[in-house]
Amino acid sequence: MVKTGQETTVEYEGGPQFASDMERLQNELHDALGQALVEVAGGLVPHVQSVMPKVSGTLAGSVTVDPRQKKNLIVAVMARTPYAGWIEFGGTRGRPMMREGRYLFPVVMGSEPVVDTRLSEEVSKVIGGFPWSHTQT
């Protein structure tokens, strides 16, 4: 801090580096969290497949991870058959509607603690290992 007459001027250094570091940190966190979501979702697929009804096996075999929205930190676990929604939720032709789902939806929704733990671990890992550009005091 420098005082000249009635004025006080505060000088700091590292502002531009800090701004740059924060942008890099944001990008690293985003990438790490997106990848963690893909990995957690991939781990759910065998469990979802195991609880799906199996007549021909097509429905269970169609369960997959869709990472197309990973950039928005959205990863979908989905069954890719035309009748998957009806099997999961029902609502017509004698199959009662179950908004909470029967197979896929309960498994995915029940994974929240696993997702929370994994994302917390990733945040700690990225921040803890982040190479700040200006570390001198």
Checking if the pLDDT of 115 tops 90, the result is: yes
Report the C-alpha gap between 61 and 77 in whole angstroms: 12
pLDDT at 64: 94
pLDDT band at residue 13 using 50, 70 and 90 as cut-offs: confident
Checking if the pLDDT of 136 tops 70, the result is: no
pLDDT band at residue 109 using 50, 70 and 90 as cut-offs: very high
The ranges assigned to domains in the chain are 52-123
pLDDT per position as a tens digit, 14-38: 788 889 999 999 999 999 999 999 9
Mean pLDDT of 99-126: 96
pLDDT at 94: 86
pLDDT per position as a tens digit, 56-76: 999 999 999 998 888 888 888
pLDDT at 7: 81
pTM of the entire structure? 0.80
